[in-house]
A and B are shown apart, each in its own frame.
Chain A
Amino acid sequence: MLRPETDAEAAFRADVRAFLAAAIPDHLRDLTFRAPPQDCMPWYRALSRRGWIAPHWPKAFGGMAASPVEQVILLEEMAHAGAPDIPTQGINHIGPLLMHFGSPAQQARHLPPILAGDVIWCQGYSEPGAGSDLSALRTAARRDGDELVVNGHKIWTTWGHHAHWMFALVRTSSAGNPRAGITFLLIDLSSPGITRRPIRNIANDDEFCEVFFDEVRVPLENVVGAVDDGWRVATALLDRERIQLGAPAQALRALERVRRLAPLADAGLADRIAEAELAVETLTAAFLDAAERFAAGEDPGAESSYLKILATETTQAVLDIAQDLAGPLMAARDPVRLGAPLVDMSEMFLQARRLSIYGGSNEIQRSILAERVLGLKREAR
């Protein structure tokens, strides 16, 4: 942040720093990938006990109601301390969605375990034939008494093989507009009829998977909102979700890579290092601006798509700079010890390819900006 901190903010930073120095186990520090649940969830729970797991959640739901500046302080300190990455589908996606659309019973059942880190969630939207064109989804649910019976195939489900629950979009009607027959469903992944197959990614990490449903029975009480009204439920909060997607979490982690490499780089690279610092400051300013407007009651609107683009492309640009600093080690697969620190050369660069693909690809975000914000005519599709 370029702005000066108040005394209270500076004290908060000192608190966070001291906590992180003491609390992050050594084997989880400086990881360049998301550690599997047995390693990563204890850390999630430690943050939860400290009260810092859900900075942007309101106090009424057990969150921290942190100011945007406090959120940035947390992110900066975590990146600097090499804190491990944690799963965010619960905190950033289904949690806030249930706060708005969930029944009191659904809220009472699902929100506390998300905060506590006892239940891991995954997002079951994408299918082989339904990526950017999500409303083409075909995983179907037919009504049978007070249950829905699900058959179909989800893919690219992050942490699907580690998750206990999935929030999914399923087709309950194929008549009329494809968006009209979609239902938002909470699925207990221990139900009979579910098969999961991990998929390895280009960074050699089996972080996502595909999930097959064969006559999976889900009680109707697990529908969020109404049957056939799932599209609205899933998309109504996208604008504000994108504010969190625009938080400088990944970009700060990437910047940390550049900072570690800086002492090893020759003087000619000082400009590249400053470029990385500047890019992340720009993103931080954009996030603070959007989050503060939102906190003041402004509707983020479609404009928030710009944050998703900025956050992801900033991270990628910073990692390009890290690759440049790494010299021939840019092609090393594993972190290499150069002097004291272990420096990752390629893992984050490869992992970062995802950022512009998921969460609504950056092409789709650009179309949203062009059509809904800039008022340009939509391409025939």
Chain B
Amino acid sequence: MPSETEAMLAAAAGDLLDGEGGVARARARRDAGGGLDRAVWSRMAAMGWFSLLLPEAHGGLGLAPSDAVDFAQEIGARIAPEPVVAAIAAQPLLAACGTPAADTLLARAAGGAAVICAAPAERTDDGPGSAFQGLAFAPADVDVALAFDPPNRRLLALDPAEARTAATVDGGTLAFLADGPDAVLVAEGASAQAAFLAACDVQRLLYAAELCGLMARALDMTLDYMRLRRQFGQPIGAFQALQHRAATHFVDVRATRALVREAGRAFGTQKQSGAAAAAKAAAGAAALRVLKDCIQLHGAIGFADEHDIGLYLRRAMVLAASAGTPRTCRAVFGTARAAELDAPLPRHAVRAAGPDASQAG
């Protein structure tokens, strides 16, 4: 059950996005060939969106990532084109670094003045010692992308405008981020690495939530269409073959949402990374599954650009690939789970197992 704060946050997100124009904004951004609406961004910042997870000592709301799950679902439901989740993850990351460079960036991010995003990148370079190169989803007009260079354990602030980019199917950008003369070293060492990994976990959880909201809304749109569209003298929703498919998607939507909420409970524990990866892997795969069939259930109109359902499929492709594809995330989860299975049970659990164990303790 979502708490009151969570529900309020989610409702406010829905109101703001609807007020700004809802799904039409995603289409407009795509048609304009990308670009970030800075006015909308400032209004989001003014509502405190990007400092939701920033500790109160730094002026943030100090919420836990799980508190933002419903909020992220509302963003997904409206396929908002802004990199909200990446910006949410950036602030606690910078706060955790505690270096002068990080503090400067955090000050720049305040109020939405600068768009600063955490950018987990799939590495494309050759390992330790080589200059960092990686692929990340970052709109070209993000001011700063925070990327981590694992072998050298350096958190870098990069300007995506300097990077080679490729357009994404939703009108956004993939940036081939690379270390270079303009890169700023934000922090380094084990603590920087831990902070960055935590930011990845946050992104995975919240992207998973965004995908849940997206697929739930897409299914609703499809159900509406199935009630409306008539063929053979009746609504296509009256055909049992289609009813069963819709019911299957409902199973996907509900189960994935339960998993994402469950994953939120692991935050702050050892299980956090595995859980976040599990949520992201499941949500990415489920959203693609559901969205492909939503197109099918619409027939030809679903294949036409003028219908919004295609925007949902394309946004799902981008979100599914952000901060780790389903395959990448399954691998992370698999490794985490294997380590868990190898680890000895905690002492209190061993005690509870029987009298022998309790004597041994």
Contacts and interface: CB of A to CB of B under 8 A. Distances in A.
Whether chains A and B associate is yes
Interface of A: 126, 129, 131-133, 136, 155-156, 199-202, 204, 208, 316, 324, 327-334, 336, 346, 350, 353-354, 356-358, 361-363, 366-367, 379, 381
B327 A331 contact: no
A199 B306 CA distance: 8
Contacts of B240: 379
6 contacts: A129-B230, A132-B299, A133-B233, A331-B321, A331-B322, A379-B239
B310 interface: yes
B317 A136 contact: no
A156 B135 CA distance: 38
Interface in B281-309: 292, 295-296, 299-300, 302-306
A350 B231 CA distance: 25
A333 B166 contact: yes
Contacts of A199: 304-306
Contacts of B5: none
Contact of A331 (B168, B306, B328): B168
A331 B317 contact: yes
Nearest to A349: B317
B66 to A, nearest CB: 26
A201 B296 contact: no
Contacts of B299: 131-132, 357, 361
> Top 6 nearest A-B pairs by Cβ distance?
A202-B310, A133-B231, A200-B305, A381-B232, A331-B321, A333-B167
A201 B305 contact: yes
B325 A328 contact: yes
A330 B300 contact: no
B169 A350 contact: yes
A358 B300 contact: yes
Given A332-B168, A333-B167, A131 B321 contact: no
B313 interface: yes
Contacts of B135: 327-329
A327 B122 contact: yes
Interface in B227-243: 230-234, 236, 239-242
Given A202-B304, A327-B325, A329-B174, A353 B295 contact: yes
A202 B122 CA distance: 27
B137 interface: yes
B303 A354 contact: yes
B169 A333 contact: yes
A374 to B, nearest CB: 14
Nearest to A370: B241
B332 to A, nearest CB: 13
A327 B305 contact: no
Contacts of A329: 135, 166, 174, 321
B231 A331 contact: no
A202 B313 contact: yes
Contacts of A330: 317, 320-321, 325
A295 B31 CA distance: 50
A305 to B, nearest CB: 14
Contacts of B295: 202, 353, 357
Nearest to A126: B300
A363 B298 CA distance: 12
Contacts of A133: 231-233
A133 B234 CA distance: 11
A132 B232 contact: yes
B80 interface: no
A85 B233 CA distance: 37
A200 B303 contact: no
Contacts of B232: 132-133, 381
A357 B304 CA distance: 12
A81 to B, nearest CB: 26
A336 B166 contact: yes
Nearest to A132: B231
Interface in B207-247: 230-234, 236, 239-242
B52 to A, nearest CB: 26
B351 interface: no
Nearest to A134: B231
Contacts of B169: 331-333, 346, 350
B76 to A, nearest CB: 15
Contact of A357 (B122, B168, B236, B303): B303
Contact of A201 (B137, B304, B327): B304
A327 B325 CA distance: 6
